[in-house]
Amino acid sequence: MSADYMFIMKSSEDGSFSDGGLQRFGKIELNPAACVLNYGQGIIEELKAYKKPDNSILLFRPEEHGLRMRVGAERLLMPAPTVEQFVEAVKVTVLENRRWVPPPNKGFLHIRPLLIGSGPVLSLTPAPEFIFLILVTPMGDYSRGGLEPINLVVENEIHLAVRGGAGSVKAIGNYAAILKAHVEAKANGFSDVLFLDSVHQRYVEETSTANIFLVKDKIISTPTLEEGTVLPGVTRKCVIEIARSQGYQVEERLVSVEELFEADEVFCTGNAVHLSRVGSITYLGKRVSYCESEPAVVSQQLHQELSNIETGHTEDKLGWTVIMK
């Protein structure tokens, strides 16, 4: 379901962005030789807007998403809006579509910024022109409060990222390459795929759209970003900060697939899944289940705190939210 308006801004010859504005939601024109169509030069972002009981609207860490887009754009040789332009464009788009923001506790407005190489090229070269676009759509709480466990299967042949590649940015081509594994997992009854590193095929990296954490003896571990193959998720960053503020030890390191079979809890974080606990993981035909007869205490605690801040149910002492009247 599409909202009323979308935001569009084009780059100038010097690579800067200006004179953007709202348009009625609809189709856009692209030259068949557009770089994004032929060579995949494009980046996506995603964030949320929530409605509070007083009818104000809350954005969650839009600056982090604007900064991540700029980092990704640099990797793909693309100019990008400034963080200030990004945040202002998000605000304008959300406010103009505010009638589409679901009521409190009923869902959120999904915000999808895109940066694409729209200029025509017929050889492997950066596009001469770029479009920054934002579209929004209302969604229900498809994380189901983080209480509905998800079931993962470890992929052994297809890899999400390689060292030296673009796994650390939200390049649009990253997702097309894993559709086969994702669709097959769904067809076999799993919620998503968990990918391993491409070198040793032993270390856990992330799922199709989420970062992963495991808990063992109250120590929380998550795959390191240092290899350049794991996306620096904004939700991931928030959960690490919240966990440490609550006294948990959090380790960012290489996590072997064998450790999953010894973990007390496993959970995923991301804009789509929010913070969702993992009910089971299957690897080479062997299945391990988590918290079948007892609550996932750490996952639930972190989920509740994150949700309270994100939706404005508790005071934001960390300065993560932006409130719009």
Q: Which of 10, 48, 52, 170 is catalytic?
A: 170
Q: How far apart (Å, rounded) are the C-alpha atoms in residues 298 and 217?
A: 11
CATH superfamily of 150-311: D-amino Acid Aminotransferase, subunit A, domain 2 (3.20.10.10)
Q: Given this model, what pLDDT does residue 291 score?
A: 87
pLDDT exceeds 90 at position 145: no
Confidence band for 147, pLDDT divided at 50, 70 and 90 = low
Q: What is the distance between the alpha carbons of residues 44 and 119, in angstroms, rounded to a whole number?
A: 17
Q: Are 257 and 243 in contact (CB under 8 A)?
A: no
Q: How far apart are the first and last CA of the chain?
A: 24
Average pLDDT in the 136-157 region?
Answer: 82
5-140: which CATH architecture? 2-Layer Sandwich (3.30)
Task: Report whether pLDDT(23) > 70.
Answer: yes
Residues 6+ apart with CB under 8 A from 61: 47, 234, 238, 320, 321
| CA distance linking residue 118 with residue 114, whole number of Å | 11
Sign of CA dihedral 307, 310, 316, 319: positive
Q: What is the pLDDT of residues 207-247, one digit of tens each?
A: 999 999 999 999 999 999 999 999 999 999 999 999 999 99
Residues 6 or more apart in contact with residue 32 via CB below 8 angstroms: 120
Distances (CA, A) of 112 to 69, 147, 309, 314: 12, 25, 21, 26
Measured CA to CA, the distance from residue 55 to residue 263 in angstroms comes to: 42
Does the global pTM surpass 0.85?
A: yes
Q: pLDDT tens for residues 268-318?
A: 999 989 999 999 999 999 999 998 878 899 999 999 999 999 999 999 999
- Separation CA 232–CA 206 (nearest Å): 11
Residue 108 DSSP symbol: E
Residue of 22, 29, 15 whose CA lies nearest to 118? 29
pLDDT tens-digit profile of 39-95? Answer: 999 999 999 999 999 999 999 999 999 999 999 999 999 999 999 999 999 999 999
> For 104-231, where are the alpha helices, taking DSSP H only?
173-176, 179-187
Domain boundaries, the chain: 5-140, 150-311
* Residue 170: active-site member: yes
